[in-house]
Amino acid sequence: MNAPLLQVVQIGKQYTRGLLRPQVTFSLAADFEVAEPTVVGVLGPNGSGKTTLFELMTGSNLPDAGRVLVNGQDIHRVRTRERDRLAIHYHQSYQVRSFQRTRPNFMLDHAASDSPLVHLFDEPQFNTQDGYIGFMLEFFRKLRGAGRVVFLCLHPNEPYHIDILRESCERFIFVQKGVVTQVPSFAALLGNEQVRSYLGSLAPARER
């Protein structure tokens, strides 16, 4: 049987402050699986842990616990220059995030893939002119059709951002204060009271 395309297995990350009596300032926990090609929408307030989650999933940040498996391969055990053959993180203006080095590359495995299987778009700047949005949505669909998993992280501040999520994404993840919640559909997303509070006036009216 083929392995799921992505498994985030009980990942945990903590940040602390203070040397003598360290206090936890932020913690993130996630445990989910994406078995097949799909587009996943990711939402949550600023500072909630979305980018940290993406960095853990691509191997550019070290978890304190857990594993991230891309097509069955632990990304944190892959050579740093080859991790983007498994998962790649495009941060805002599409610059690629660098990988955190943990041990010499000769002690790590080669990537089992030649091109990324998981693509993570972190708050891309959608240009509303010249058909750019349509181009990007078609790009996401092509990646999915090529057997890839796409994560689209948006911090909605315009109504068309909600339309993008509705049109593009098949399932969702909501991150708040380091808690990662899976949501199976757009309808379920809008039925989540935490999500509606986060969206505020952008939350569409409930269907009757």
Q: Is the pLDDT of residue 95 over 90?
A: no
pLDDT tens track for 166-194: 999 999 999 999 999 999 999 999 999 99
The pLDDT of 82-106, averaged and rounded, is 75
Q: Which two tokens stand for residue 69?
A: 């498996």
Task: Calculate mean pLDDT across residues 117-130.
Answer: 86
The pTM assigned to this predicted structure is 0.91
Task: Give phi and psi for 160, each to the nearest 5.
Answer: -70, -20
Sign of the torsion formed by the C-alpha atoms of 55, 68, 154 and 13 = negative
What is the C-alpha to C-alpha distance for residues 72 and 63, in angstroms, rounded to an integer? 18
Residue 170's closest CA among 36, 56, 52? 36
**Averaged pLDDT, 92-117:** 77
- 186 vs 191: CA distance, rounded Å: 9
- Rounded to an integer, what distance in angstroms lies between the CA atom of residue 84 and that of residue 99? 9
Residue 4 has pLDDT above 90, yes or no: yes
Q: How far is CA 7 from the centre of its chain?
A: 12
